[in-house]
Every structure is written in structure tokens, then in C-alpha cells.
Amino acid sequence: MLNLKEDPTRNNPIANMPGVTGLMVMKNALAENVWGIASSIDIYDCNPATIRDADEIRRFVAELCEKIEMKRFGETQVVHFGEDERVAGFSMVQLIETSLISAHFANQTNTVYLDVFSCKPYNPEKVQFFARDFFGGAHSVLNVTMRR
């Protein structure tokens, strides 16, 4: 698993493997013929209004799928739940033809926990930067796993 932590200058990320970028992850996935790429992105200090708006979350999914060239399968599911305020917020699931995208939006901390898994290679950094910008996050952490 690679932990791609964002460089404060927002240039290339710093990874536990120096010089690794999202584009390199994508190329390695193709070269190694892995089953898929799984990325987990934690986005902190997000815009409270955006993460509490089901229509905005659906718009995010549509734009993300277009940006990373993934074909959506069915409608985006967005459900609000959580009796405990610590976990209360929307959860989202979107099936894609090559697997799925999911997220939980934590109201108490204004944090987004986004997961993308696809057997079609994609650039995890593109997802990270787009999602952070869309939700107005102050910073984010990207973890990538090659599924074999």
C-alpha cells in the first residue's frame, strides 16, 4: 500500500516510495496487469454546506466519473443516517462498470472518506485533487493499494 501524502506546495505528492505519483501508479497497474486499483482518500475541513447536500454529492459523482472516464451503472445512492453524532452524515455508493465508488461524509468533523476501486486503471491523484477541490477541503491524504 502506498500512502501518498500531499506536499504542502501541492506539487507532486510525497510517498513512502520517493518520486511515486498517481500517474506512475496508473502506469504500474497496467504494466503489472493488476486486478485493480483501490484508493482511499480522507479529505479534512470540507465545506459543511457541500457535504450536507445530497444533490451536490450526486453532482460530484457524475463529474468524477466523467473526469476519470468511468461509466456509471445505475443511480447514485445517497442516504443520511447515524444516530450517533460522531458518525452522522450522508453515505454514498455508485456502482461503476468496473467496480464502485463509495464515501461517507462525517458532519461532526466535516470530513469526507472517499473510496474508489476499479479494475480499469485511473490516476488516484486526479481523484484526490478533484475531490478535495469539489468539497472545499483544506488538506487530504491518499492511500493506494494495488489489488492482485
For the record, the C-alpha cell of 108 comes out as 461532526
CATH number at 109 reads 3.60.90.10
Count of structural domains, the chain: 1
Nearest to 110 by CA among 19, 20, 46, 55: 46
pLDDT at 18 over 70: no
Whole-angstrom distance, CA of residue 109 vs CA of residue 104: 12
The pLDDT assigned to 19 comes to 54
Weakest-pLDDT range from 11-20, 69-78, 81-90, 121-130: 11-20
Q: Residue 109 belongs to what domain range?
A: 2-147
Q: What pLDDT, in 10s, does the model give residues 20-68?
A: 687 788 778 777 878 899 999 999 999 999 999 999 999 999 999 999 9
